[in-house]
Amino acid sequence: MSLTDLGAVLLRQFDPETAHRLAIRALQLTPLPAPGADDPILKTTMAGLQMSNPVGLAAGLDKNGEALEGLSRLGFGAVECGSVTPRAQAGNSKPRLFRLAEDRAIINRMGFNNEGLEPFAARLARRPTRTAIGANLGANKDTEDKAADYVAGLRRLAGLADYFTINISSPNTPGLRALQGREALDDLLGRINEARPGDGAPVFLKIAPDLIGEEIGMIVEASLAHRIDALIVSNTTLERPASLRSAFAGESGGLSGAPLKPFALKALEAAAEAAGGRLPLIAVGGIASGEDAFARIRAGASAVQVYSALIYEGPGLIGRIKCDLAARLRAEGFSSMAEATAARR
């Protein structure tokens, strides 16, 4: 077991939010070695974004961009920080983060707790360059015109991130998921398109897994109409599968981890069917192995993101996923990631 994986085991002895804070601190202070070169078969280019491998970190771990140097040394192809809102906010009352160990899952109702755009921008200005760094944008809880918050984030951070994600799918900010309706979405994406960074940094849209196929199809078409560069499928779910065993299963908030897998995969399949290769897709939700990652790529994803599985498996999971994924690509006769995505089952 590596020292980083041992650290993950030790962190699980603390309550989840304390463990989260300690993990960020450790990533700030621990002098981690630079990762080795990735297998060339894993090289990924998506929406103009070049990555040495398709395994990214999902938003939520480093909300304030505090540990980008440490995270960039763990072997990710991309690291997404945030969500960040224009103004600092405390988020929801505690407790708001729950570890469902029996289910390999997490429930959170954090509520976009973060320090706001200015500290975030200052840290992004010093971001490492070995890994693509994304900025996940959110809206303040008390903002009436939530689209204006996304525009403000995009404009303030222009030139500071390699890509941007418009997060309209968190279940923990009232009214946020309503932006996934067509009228509100057209207004939001039209304004985002006008505020698009001049350096050509791609803009992604992150959607919920709790949408039906017709809704996802509508979002795909709206995204194409407004030049969104990729969809991230998906965020946490409000569903509570009957299979959950943890005493925390009834807590409100978004569920992530292993139980999210079937919901996220279903949403990805619907998005791939609607997109028909016209819009790149990034898969998130319940990915905990090379097998999981390969299944999402064969379902039409160009890249994947992980987060909850790291809590249970430790950072060594990243290398294991990459190694297994490279082996599976070759075993199936593919010479590149792009070839595997294009040959969607």
Confidence band for 5, pLDDT divided at 50, 70 and 90? low
User: Does the predicted model carry a pTM greater than 0.85?
Assistant: yes
Per-residue pLDDT tens digits for 76-116: 999 999 999 999 999 999 999 999 999 999 999 999 999 99
Q: What is the mean pLDDT of residues 277-285?
A: 98
CATH number belonging to the domain at 3-342, selected among 3.40.50.300, 3.20.20.190, 3.40.50.410, 3.20.20.70: 3.20.20.70
Closest C-alpha to 309, from 65, 82, 6, 57: 57
Closest C-alpha to 163, from 52, 70, 63, 80: 80
Is residue 170 among the annotated active site residues?
A: yes
Residue type present at position 266? K
Would you tell me how many other CB atoms lie within 10 Å of the CB of residue 265?
Answer: 22
How far apart are the C-alpha atoms of 312 and 342, rounded to whole Å? 32
Domain boundaries, the chain: 3-342
The catalytically annotated residue of 169, 170, 223, 256 is 170
Q: Is the pLDDT of residue 3 over 80?
A: no
How far apart are the C-alpha atoms of 271 and 284, rounded to whole Å? 13
The tally of CA atoms less than 13 A away on the side-chain side of residue 218 is: 13
Q: Phi and psi for 232 in degrees, rounded to 5?
A: -100, 120
Per-residue pLDDT tens digits for 180-219: 988 999 999 999 999 999 999 999 999 999 999 999 999 9
What's the burial of 298, exposed, middle or buried (CB within 10 Å: 0-12/13-18/19+)? middle
Q: Phi and psi for 317 in degrees, rounded to 5?
A: -60, -35
In 35-180 the beta strands, taken as DSSP E runs, fall at 44-46, 49-51, 55-57, 78-84, 97-100, 105-108, 132-137, 163-167
